[in-house]
Structure 1
């Protein structure tokens, strides 16, 4: 992958993974050139299969933006930041990043649920 771009430059993913929290949701927005879309999907599928085998992984879902430009949003749930950190920094996973098309840009960020009485569950 040519670039990891922080969603929040003041607090990028490498700082977030050092904070103990549970459960956590990874939101990752990908942009890719249209010509590289099928290649991107194949590599993402391989990465998702790797993550699915990791301890603490709960689920993932990939979404494609409506329209012609290939923008994707990946939503993945992990038991803890420690589990995500172990998977995200695993040398096997890091080696896979070079398989993404050069046009691919990812903006990963971790979130936690917020409880809003009568609206959102904790």
Structure 2
């Protein structure tokens, strides 16, 4: 079972799930014991295949830290917090969390794009 550790201790993912916004980006950092890296990727791939079928899902990409570290970053785009909340709270998805190695720690957080003049658009 994956252990959840807030990325922002002052504003947990559970609090974010109550906000209506969209589109949103889920940033999810994973750490895992080096021996469990393959198991983490397998569990994540299974979750990703399930999430791809959910309403509001747009895309996802898993990244691995370069070098010998065992940190991973998942970047997933959703139409809205409501769509992500529905998928995340689904009992079938919650059951998937038991497939992660016991050394896995995840830190999920939702973000939305902002406009910064002369740099990026919202």
Shorter-normalised TM range: over 0.9
SS at match of 1:62: strand
Residue number in structure 2 paired with 1:14: 14
Residue number in structure 1 paired with 2:73: 73
Superposed CA deviations along residues 75-114 of structure 1, whole A, max 9, x for unmatched, are 0000000000000100000001011000000000000001
Superposed CA RMSD in Å reads 0.7
Residue number in structure 1 paired with 2:48: 48
CA distance in 1, matches of 2:2, 2:30: 11
CA distance in 1, matches of 2:70, 2:109: 19
Unaligned stretches of 5+ in structure 2?
none
CA distance in 1, matches of 2:121, 2:10: 28
Unaligned stretches of 5+ in structure 1?
none
Stretches (4+) displaced over 6 A: none
Aligned length: 122
- 1:24-103 paired onto structure 2 within 5 Å: 24-103=24-103
TM-score, scaled relative to structure 2: 0.98
Quote the offset at 1:18 in angstroms: 0.5
